[in-house]
């Protein structure tokens, strides 16, 4: 790890001013950044520890029924907040399916959004990686690529975004509040993470010095509380990143689906919203055929980036399965193994 | 650059003066305060051997800069027992053979203490195994570990009931 200057600003304004120096990094819990510094992937000149900034660690319910989650709310505090878990159950389940209890106790909401890819070539300084070192190449192409992207990738980068939390957030139209040298603004979470294209080193839409203040979930998304699921397939059932995951949510009424929300994780450099698949479910009967068609549409543009054709079939199957489970209803309690398809005890369409 | 801060470790206030901001909580404990109970396994937050409590919550001390902890209270494995009397979780690990080589054990025990305090596992062994998944044991003592955690949790609960009565 290189040496760095460490500062702990008292206000958001101070933090943003300090971040104007080149090589500055904001540090929250550090569960990803410190790890990357130890292996030499991140080499900050200046660390701006934002964990003591006031007012960023609250979950606030808005007058219209939406919720504002402060950037420094810890993952476990969010997932175990009873009202939050009741109102946005798939988000709570996604959080609890990620990392370990120790990491969730430390890791923050904004840190989760800003975490970097777990691509092994990105983390290995001896490998070529356009994301880490522009124009150096991509050793993942033609390398060990079974975990890599099947949607939205380019010849320059096939890495995936590893977050579970972001998948239901993007499905439920989350908005990110930002503050930077030019003031405050907000963007859709769907617009925060960039696809690689020819510039994989540009990972997010954040401008230099911009700081995430909060994530908001809109009141309209509370209609999905009773029919929402997050399912995650992984190499082992706990403490592993997703091979593929999906967050789905249905608004059901009069025997039909009124509206649907579908997003996928582990398949692209960003949490992947499947809008065409959502539209296909509007005002149709909740049949296995309708769910299969939506799953087909969600992956229609998918193509393997290496040795990962299997992920496309897995993703398709898990979307159909999650839709069936969501239609049957959100479970009363989060299962013992969060997001595991092996613990999805309700829902019978897929098995039939 | 010098960083001065205060941190309470196992009930004792320490005034720390660091010459290097790179020092993690784990390095502070092991290299500067001679508290070598917390272990450095992977040093990347993957194995859980460095688990301690910060303000009552279990975390990976290898991924926390010591300088960020001004005013915090840290509990390590050295702070659990009362003299020669083992903490109930320590006693349960002995009782259930919850270890073989012992390297991961301080982290396992601190994680179990945190898990019980969090109170999300109920009496469900599956939930206990899931919530202990951040602690790896290469000897494979998981069966004894899960039994020890369940037993210690039940002992603490019945102990509390006695206190209440």
User: Quick one: average pLDDT of B106-112?
Assistant: 98
Closest residue to A105, CB basis, from B1, B24, B59: B59
Torsion of CA B136, B139, B142, B144, to 10 degrees: -140
* B51 in contact with chain A, both atoms CB, cutoff 8 A: yes
User: Quick one: average pLDDT of A267-288?
Assistant: 98
* B119 in contact with chain A, both atoms CB, cutoff 8 A: no
Measured from the Cβ of residue A310, the count of other Cβ atoms closer than 10 Å reads 13
Q: How many domains, in total, are found in chain A?
A: 2
Q: How many domains, in total, are found in chain B?
A: 2
Three-class SS string for chain B? CCEEEEEEECCEEEEEEECCCCCEHHHHHHHHCCCCCCCCCCCCCCCCCCEEEECCEEEEHHHCEHHHHCCCEEECHHHCCECCECCHHHHHHHHCCCCCCCCCHHHHHHHHHHHHHHCCCCCCHHHHHHHCCCCCCCCCCHHHHHHHHHHHHHHHHHHHHHHHC
User: Quick one: average pLDDT of A202-221?
Assistant: 98
Does residue A140 belong to any structural domain of this protein? no
Q: What was the pLDDT predicted at B160? A: 63
pLDDT tens for residues A213-228?
A: 999 999 999 999 999 9
Q: A352 pLDDT exceeds 90? A: no
Q: A205 pLDDT exceeds 60? A: yes
Against a cut of 0.90, is the pTM above it?
yes
Locus of tokens 């000897």 = B139
Verify whether the Cβ–Cβ distance A35 to B63 is below 8 Å: yes
Banded model confidence at residue B156, pLDDT cuts 50, 70, 90: confident
- Kindly provide the ipTM of the predicted complex, given to two decimals: 0.96
Please report, for residues A64, A149, A286, the alpha-carbon distance to residue A220 in angstroms, rounded to integers and kept in the order given: 9, 31, 21
Q: What was the pLDDT predicted at A348? A: 40
Verify whether the Cβ–Cβ distance B45 to A3 is below 8 Å: no
Does residue A337 belong to any structural domain of this protein? yes
Which residues span the domain enclosing A314? 226-343
Q: Are B59 and B123 in contact (CB under 8 A)?
A: no
Q: What was the pLDDT predicted at A347? A: 44
CATH of the domain at A34: 3.30.43
Size of interface A-B (CB pairs under 8 A): 94
| Set of chain B residues whose Cβ sits within 8 Å of the Cβ of A27 | 65, 68
Q: What was the pLDDT predicted at B163? A: 47
Q: What is the mean pLDDT of chain A?
A: 96
User: Quick one: average pLDDT of A144-159?
Assistant: 98
CATH of the domain at A246: 3.30.390.50
> How many whole angstroms separate alpha carbon A228 and alpha carbon A224?
6
* A47 in contact with chain B, both atoms CB, cutoff 8 A: yes
Banded model confidence at residue B158, pLDDT cuts 50, 70, 90: confident
* A4 in contact with chain B, both atoms CB, cutoff 8 A: yes
pLDDT tens for residues A257-269?
A: 999 999 999 999 9
Does residue A270 belong to any structural domain of this protein? yes
Q: B161 pLDDT exceeds 60? A: no
Sign of CA dihedral A164, A165, A168, A174: negative
* Residue A173: exposure state from Cβ atoms within 10 A (0-12, 13-18, ≥19): middle
* A103 in contact with chain B, both atoms CB, cutoff 8 A: yes
Q: Of B79, B97, B114, which one is at a domain's C-terminal end? A: B79
Higher pLDDT among residues A338 and A342, named by residue: A338
User: Quick one: average pLDDT of A85-98?
Assistant: 98
CATH of the domain at B51: 3.10.20.30
* B124 in contact with chain A, both atoms CB, cutoff 8 A: yes
User: Quick one: average pLDDT of A62-81?
Assistant: 98
Closest residue to A101, CB basis, from B3, B24, B131: B131
User: Quick one: average pLDDT of A187-191?
Assistant: 98
Residues B54, B96 within the same domain: no
How does DSSP classify residue A138?
Answer: B
Which residues span the domain enclosing B71? 3-79
Closest residue to A30, CB basis, from B63, B118, B133: B63
CATH of the domain at B124: 1.10.150.120
For residue A317, give the H/E element and its range. Answer: helix A309-328
* Residue A297: exposure state from Cβ atoms within 10 A (0-12, 13-18, ≥19): buried
* A35 in contact with chain B, both atoms CB, cutoff 8 A: yes
Residues B97, B121 within the same domain: yes
Give the residue among B28, B19, B1, B18 at the shortest CA–CA distance from B9. B28
């Amino acid at each position: 790890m290189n040496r760095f200057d460490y500062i702990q600003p008292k206000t958001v304004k101070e933090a943003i001013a300090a971040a104007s120096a080149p090589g500055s990094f904001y540090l929250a819990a550090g569960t990803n950044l410190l790890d990357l510094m130890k292996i030499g992937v991140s080499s900050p000149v200046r660390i701006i520890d934002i964990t003591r900034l006031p007012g960023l660690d609250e979950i606030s319910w808005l007058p219209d029924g939406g919720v504002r989650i402060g950037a420094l709310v810890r993952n476990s505090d969010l997932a175990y907040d009873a009202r939050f878990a009741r109102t946005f159950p798939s988000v709570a389940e996604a959080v609890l399916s990620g990392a370990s209890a120790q990491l969730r106790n430390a890791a923050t909401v904004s840190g989760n959004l800003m975490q970097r890819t777990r691509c092994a070539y990105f983390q290995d300084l001896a490998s070529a990686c356009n994301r880490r070192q522009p124009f150096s190449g991509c050793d993942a192409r033609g390398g060990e690529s079974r975990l890599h992207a099947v949607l939205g990738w380019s010849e320059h980068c096939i890495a995936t975004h590893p977050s579970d939390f972001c998948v239901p957030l993007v499905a439920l139209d989350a908005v990110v509040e930002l503050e930077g040298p030019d003031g405050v603004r907000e963007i859709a979470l769907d617009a925060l993470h960039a696809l690689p294209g020819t510039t994989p080193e540009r990972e997010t839409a954040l401008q230099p010095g911009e700081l995430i203040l909060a994530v908001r979930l809109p009141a309209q998304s509370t209609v999905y509380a009773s029919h929402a699921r997050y399912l995650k397939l992984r190499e082992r059932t706990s403490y592993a990143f997703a091979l593929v995951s999906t967050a789905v949510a249905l608004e059901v009424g009069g025997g039909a689906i009124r509206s649907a929300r579908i997003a996928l994780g582990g398949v692209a450099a960003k949490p992947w919203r499947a809008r065409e698949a959502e539209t296909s479910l509007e005002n149709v009967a909740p049949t296995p055929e309708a769910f299969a068609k939506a799953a087909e549409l969600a992956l229609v543009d998918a193509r393997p980036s290496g040795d990962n054709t299997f992920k496309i079939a897995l993703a398709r199957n898990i979307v159909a399965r999650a839709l069936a489970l969501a239609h049957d209803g959100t479970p009363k309690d989060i299962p013992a193994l969060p997001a595991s398809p092996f613990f999805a005890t309700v829902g019978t369409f897929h098995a039939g | 650059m010098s960083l001065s801060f205060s941190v309470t470790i196992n009930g004792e206030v320490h005034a720390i003066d660091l010459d290097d901001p790179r020092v993690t909580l784990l390095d502070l404990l092991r290299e500067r305060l001679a508290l070598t109970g917390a272990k450095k396994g992977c040093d990347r937050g993957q194995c859980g051997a460095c688990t301690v409590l910060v303000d009552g919550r279990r975390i990976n001390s290898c991924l926390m800069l010591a300088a960020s902890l001004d005013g915090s209270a840290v509990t390590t494995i050295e702070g659990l027992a009362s003299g020669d009397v083992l903490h109930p979780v320590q006693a349960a690990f002995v009782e259930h053979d919850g270890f073989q080589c012992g390297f991961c054990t301080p982290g396992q025990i601190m994680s179990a203490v945190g898990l019980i305090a969090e109170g999300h596992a109920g009496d469900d062994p599956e939930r206990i195994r899931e919530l202990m998944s951040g602690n790896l044991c290469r000897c494979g003592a998981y069966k004894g570990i899960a039994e020890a955690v369940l037993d210690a949790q039940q002992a603490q609960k019945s102990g509390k009931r006695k206190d209440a009565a």
